[in-house]
Every structure is written in structure tokens, then in C-alpha cells.
Structure 1
Amino acid sequence: MRWGPSGELSTVLWIGGAQWAGKSTVAWLLSRRHGLTAYHYDFHDSRGHADRALAHASRYPYRHAWQVLGAHDPDRAWVRLTPAELAENSRHSFVERFGMVLDDLRGLSSGRPLIAEGWGLRPELVAPLLASPRQAVFLVPTETFRQRQSRELPRAGRVAANVSDPERAQANRLERDRLLADEVVESARQHGLRVIEVDGSLSVGGLTDVVANHFEEWLAVSR
């Protein structure tokens, strides 16, 4: 695995974007098709990263504070905060968590190319690590598709925490996600990176084909 001038991994393929756009499935399918090692942000974030943040409050203050708040006062975390405040907390947390992602990626030693996916892989964080803009793509659902996913996907349809007002908590969460999705589009534009709008018209396989075409020159090297 090659290291770039900045000392960071320079051959990682990145799939970022917004919630419920198919990032995990697309990365998994590409890993199976092309012999890549897939790194799933949510899997590591809800396991090792959560423990790391709890153990090192001074290093990860935003992630640590959010976990403690969610555990002890979920209403404050999801009901009483505004969507804008939730989005602001997420922005700070993304920066801390991205450092953990890089630690994880440096430690992988499969010898195969890596593909990393997750909503915390924001354009402004990924851009400095790229040897080419074709190494990153961002999947963002249309508002109609986001609403459909919130109705049809069990994990998307509610806030997991035990709150007093589930409907308001879910509304806050969806609006937070919309704000963060809009920021992904703008940040990707500023950094010259591609956004794929997901509206549900393509099958998962069809969406994977579109992403594979974007990564074509890098996937060819992995064969």
C-alpha cells in the first residue's frame, strides 16, 4: 500500500455522502467484485471508536460528550436540541472520528487495496489525502428518496434512544441529516469532487456500476 507525500494513505478509495444513500452496500459489492478490503465507518464507529472516545475525553471531547449525553439524557440529545445544534455537534465529532478512521486504515495490512465508506468521510476531510479526485465520490439521496428510506428502513425510521417524544426526535434527526447532506454537496463542489444524487431509480447493482466507473482507473490497478 502506497503512502502519499502527506504521510497518509494515498491509494484508498472513499465513498462518503449522506445517510441512507447505499454507501455500505455499494462498497461491499465493489469489494467482492474487485478483491478490495472494505472499511465500514459505522461498524468501527459504534464499536472501537465509541470505547476510545469514552476512555479519552480530552482527545475526543465532542464524541465523548455526545455519548455521555445520549446515555444519561437522551431527550436533551434528540428532543431539546435544534437540528442546527445537532448538525454542529456532528461537524465537530466528524473531525475527531476521522482521526480514528485514519488510525484504523493505517493498521490494515491485508495487502489489498482499500475502499472506505461512511457518512463521516466528509469532502473537506478526505480531499487533502487524495492523489486524484477520482478516488472519492459522495452519495447523497434526494429529499424524496430520503423520506422514503425513513419510512421503509427500520433503522432509519426512528431514533434508537429511549426518548419522551419519538416523533420530534425523528424530525430533528431528519432535518439534521438534510443540513449535513446539503453541506456535503457544497463542500464536494468546492473541492472539485463528484456527488452522485441517489433517487432510487437505479438498482443497487446499477448504482454500484456507476461508482465502479468513477473508480475505474484505480480498480484496474487492483486486478
Structure 2
Amino acid sequence: MRNVYWIGGGSGAGKSTIARRLAARHGWHLYATDDVMTDHARRSAPGQAPELHRFMAMDMDERWVNRSPETMLETFHWFRGEAFGLIVEDLLRLPPGRGVLVEGFRLLPHLVQPLLPGPGHAVWLLPTPEFRRAVFRRRAAAGDFAGRTGDPERARHNLAVRDALFTDRLRKETARLGLPAITVGLTATEDELTGRVSRVFGL
């Protein structure tokens, strides 16, 4: 894992954008955890990922409308680290030698920390409430999955509150573990964030 770098963080913080820029600049392999969620769900047995399979059995309103944001946070499978081992399996199958950049909200600090060869290999991007609201407005305008529920506004509210709670959890966990975190506000540019992450990685 000495050639692996990690970018975790809250939803809509710019993880994918920064990761694509850095991977292209340095010739690294980019591993986006969002892209493998369907594959990991298929590879996970109910006993290995019970919350994932409960989630898969729900309809859209059960997932996003009828439950409180707090319940959504505590039971969301990826937030509980289910199938994180499959991320590690995938990374170990990659050819050795080339740098790898892993990105996604599934990278929980306490799961990533034991895999780090030293400081400067991981960072978490933490969006401010204002930044999150702006991202959610853009997604809603473009047509998001909440539109497929019976109450899109309620679903968006629940999701926004859940993601705010998750970001707060990441902030506390990175601080407790002494891991780098960057607050992402409305004034942050892609160039600025790319530079800040590069400095964390010592590039």
C-alpha cells in the first residue's frame, strides 16, 4: 500500500474532481469507490453486509422519505464500513509499482489509517454547510434520485441532514486520529484545493 493515496470526505466536497486532476497530472491509476459500489454489492453476502442487503430490499420511500436522517446515518451500509475489505482486495490486485489514487466517501478514517505507510498518504475533504447546500441545489436542478420518491423535498431534506451529520462525524474522527482534513467552502477553487491536497501528499 506504499504507492496508494486516499481522498475521502463528505458528499459533494470535490473529491472526484481533485482526484481526476491529480491522477492525470502524475500518471496514477484512479480508483473511484463510487464506480464499484454495484460490483461490491453483488460480491457481498448477506452475512457480510447485513445493512447493505436490508437497504437493497427497501423501496425508494423507505430509503429516503420514511426514516429519520439519524436512522439513515446509523444504518447506511457504506457509512458502517461494509464491503470496505473489497476495496482493499481490488487495490491488491492492481499491478505493483504505479501510484494509485483512491477516492470516495466510503473511505472512513478508522479503516484507512491502519493501511497508511506514514503521514501524507490520506486526506479528507469536509464541505461547509453552505457548500453542501449549493451542491444539493445544483443536483436537484439537474434531476436527482430524490425525484423518484413520493416526496422529493422530504427526501432531499433527509439526505442533506444525514450528509451533514456524516461530515461532522468525519471531522471528529480525523481530529481524534490526527489525520489531515481540509474544510471546503464556497470560495474554494479547484486549483486551490488541488494545491492543498498536493501539499498534504508532499507532491
Common topology (TM > 0.5): yes
- In 2, the alpha carbon distance for the partners of 1:20 and 1:154 equals 13
Residue of structure 2 in register with 1:19 after alignment: 11
Contact 1:135 1:215 in 2 (8 A): yes
1:200 deviates by 2.7
**Residue deviations 1:68-124 (CA, integer Å, cap 9, x gap):** 21xxx2211111111010000126654112111111111111631111000010111
Change (3 A) 1:22 1:200: same
Contact 1:157 1:170 in 2 (8 A): no
Number of residue pairs the alignment of both structures matches: 203
> Which residues in structure 2 correspond to 1:1-223 (within 5 Å)?
9-45=1-37, 47-53=38-44, 56-69=45-58, 73-90=59-76, 94-109=80-95, 111-154=97-140, 158-160=144-146, 162-216=148-202, 219=203
Normalised by the size of structure 2, how large is the TM-score? 0.92
Normalised by the size of structure 1, how large is the TM-score? 0.84
Change (3 A) 1:87 1:13: same
Letter in 1 for 2:69: P
- In 2, the alpha carbon distance for the partners of 1:156 and 1:83 equals 23
User: Would you identify which runs of 4 or more consecutive aligned residues in structure 1 move more than 6 Å?
Assistant: none
Unaligned runs of 5+ in 1: 1-8
Unaligned runs of 5+ in 2: none
Change (3 A) 1:24 1:116: same
Instruction: Name the SS for the 2:76 alignment partner.
Output: helix
Structure 1 vs Structure 2: percent identity of aligned residues?
37
Instruction: Name the SS for the 1:153 alignment partner.
Output: helix
Change (3 A) 1:83 1:20: same
Contact 2:7 2:124 in 1 (8 A): yes
Contact 1:158 1:166 in 2 (8 A): no
Change (3 A) 1:133 1:94: farther
